[in-house]
Structures are given as structure tokens and as C-alpha cells.
């Protein structure tokens, strides 16, 4: 029996209530599928202790923390020192997720921009990667990422990338990474696959964004880290590579960007 390749789910939400009944089994299933490492993402800073505790409980789980753009109006903008202080924990490996979401929460656009810039400064100060959520905000996102990079460089991943070619090029030109989620596996997502295919393979990460966006054959059901393997196979096909070679490349990419989890 062929061993599955080692891969990393670079973005999941293991603290969500969807996993309260079987979190340990979900982590075990991921490892059995070759997903030997996971980064669980905190989206409300007041919930950071719970997310940290999950990372502390499982050797294979790391975490990142920030204020999700859809939560800014409710939670407030935060400050750089608060984010930087959290990074002292050995398993806290990234800043975010942060970003802009004008699809559901355009009324808080200015607060989102302010919060994004605070997260960028934290990434600049700590040298940890920024984790970006962007939806229906390509132009503003490209402008802020570029202008802040001119102030001081930082590293970044465009998580669950499904934006347009313009934002993809902007991010790649800055040396950033694009993360491939279950969206890239959906039959109607050819335009997203085309954007990935045009990107350098050494700038690609894998993720689930679970419990959301389960790939076929689980679409419509709860997503979980084990299903990163299905996205990895689609990614290998997109780049014309065999699965093990593609998996090895994405592992190298992850460890280059998320150096603290290497």
C-alpha cells in the first residue's frame, strides 16, 4: 500500500463548534491521510486562548491569530503590541487572518483597512507571515499590500485565493504566496485554476479553510483537514506534476513562509 505524501493544511478552524464532538478524531484522520501538520486560525482575538489550547494539545497543530475583516465592526480594530505579544508563544506562527471583505461587510471598510494595516505592521515587526482574506476588494487590497510593502517588507499568503488575476499578480510580484483551497477543485472554478497554473509552483500552499469549502466528493458536507489531500491532487494536475512531487514542493513552500512551524 502506497503511503500518502506528507502535506500541510495551512489554514483551518479547529476551534469552531463543528469540531467540538470529535476534534481528536479529526486530527487523527488528517494524519492518517498524510496531513501531518495543520495551522488553526483564530478570527476573534478574545478567543485566542481557546485556539492556543488546541495547538498546545496536539503536536501536529500550530496556530495563527488576528481579527477577521468580517469581525472588525464587532470586535474592534486591535493594536500592534497586542498582536506582537501573542507571537511569543512557540506555536503561534502567523499574523491573521486579516484583510478586506466587501461582499458581506462593506459598511466597515474603513475599519477593515485600519485593522489590516495594524496586522501588516505586526508582520513587519515579527517577520511572521501575514495571512490575508480578500473578497470583492481586489483594488483596495492590492493598493494597501503594495504601499505597506514599500514602507517595510513583509511576507504574506493570500489564503483561500479566489480573487482575480490582477490581485494574484500583485501578490506574486511582491514575493507573496497563493493558497489553494477546495474552491480550486470545484467544477466551475476553471478561472481560479488558470490563475494558479500561471503562478510559480514554489509560491503555492494548500489549505482546507475547514469546516468550509469541502472538495468533491464531500462538497456540501463539513470540511476537515484530511481533505487537503483531495485539493493536493487537483493542484498536482494543474501544474502537470505527480502528486508526491507536488506535495514535496508545497511542503518546502510552507516551511519557507511559515518558518516558525518548520
pLDDT for res 154: 98
Alpha helices in the chain (DSSP H): 23-32, 48-57, 72-75, 80-86, 109-126, 138-151, 165-173, 190-197, 228-238, 243-257
Closest to 129 measured CA to CA, from 207, 201, 200: 207
Closest to 157 measured CA to CA, from 136, 143, 178: 178
The residue ranges of the chain whose pLDDT is under 70 are 1
What is the topology classification, in CATH, of domain 7-261?
TIM Barrel (3.20.20)
User: CA–CA separation, 61 vs 54, rounded Å?
Assistant: 7
Q: Please state the pTM of the whole predicted model.
A: 0.97
DSSP annotation of 154 reads -
How far lies 139's CA from each of 53, 95, 143, 175, 176, in Å?
Answer: 37, 22, 6, 18, 16
Cβ-Cβ contacts under 8 Å for 49 (sequence gap 6 or more): none
Closest to 82 measured CA to CA, from 38, 126, 39: 126
User: CA–CA separation, 25 vs 135, rounded Å?
Assistant: 32
Amino acid at each position: 500500500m502506497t503511503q500518502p505524501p506528507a502535506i500541510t493544511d495551512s489554514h483551518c478552524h479547529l476551534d469552531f463548534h463543528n469540531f467540538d464532538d470529535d476534534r481528536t478524531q479529526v486530527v487523527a484522520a488528517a494524519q492518517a491521510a498524510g496531513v501531518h501538520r495543520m495551522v488553526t486560525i483564530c478570527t476573534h482575538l478574545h478567543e485566542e486562548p481557546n485556539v492556543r489550547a488546541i495547538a498546545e494539545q496536539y503536536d501536529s497543530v500550530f496556530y495563527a491569530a488576528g481579527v477577521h475583516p468580517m469581525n472588525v465592526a464587532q470586535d474592534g480594530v486591535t493594536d500592534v503590541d497586542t498582536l506582537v505579544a501573542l507571537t511569543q508563544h512557540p506555536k503561534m506562527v502567523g499574523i491573521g487572518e486579516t484583510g478586506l471583505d466587501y461582499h458581506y461587510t462593506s459598511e466597515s471598510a474603513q475599519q477593515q483597512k485600519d485593522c489590516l494595516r495594524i496586522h501588516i505592521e505586526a508582520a513587519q515587526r515579527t517577520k511572521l507571515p501575514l495571512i490575508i482574506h480578500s473578497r470583492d476588494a481586489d483594488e483596495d487590497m492590492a493598493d494597501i499590500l503594495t504601499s505597506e510593502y514599500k514602507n517595510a517588507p513583509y511576507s504574506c499568503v493570500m489564503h483561500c485565493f479566489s480573487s482575480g488575476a490582477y490581485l494574484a499578480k500583485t501578490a506574486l510580484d511582491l514575493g507573496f504566496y497563493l493558497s489553494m483551497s477546495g474552491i480550486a477543485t470545484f467544477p466551475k472554478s476553471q478561472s481560479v485554476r488558470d490563475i494558479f497554473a500561471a503562478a510559480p509552483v514554489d509560491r503555492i500552499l494548500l489549505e482546507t479553510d475547514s469546516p468550509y469549502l469541502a472538495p468533491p466528493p464531500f462538497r456540501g458536507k463539513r470540511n476537515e483537514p484530511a481533505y487537503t489531500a483531495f485539493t493536493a491532487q487537483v493542484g498536482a494536475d494543474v501544474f502537470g506534476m505527480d502528486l508526491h512531487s507536488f506535495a514535496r514542493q508545497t511542503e518546502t513552500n510552507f516551511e519557507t513562509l511559515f518558518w516558525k512551524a518548520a
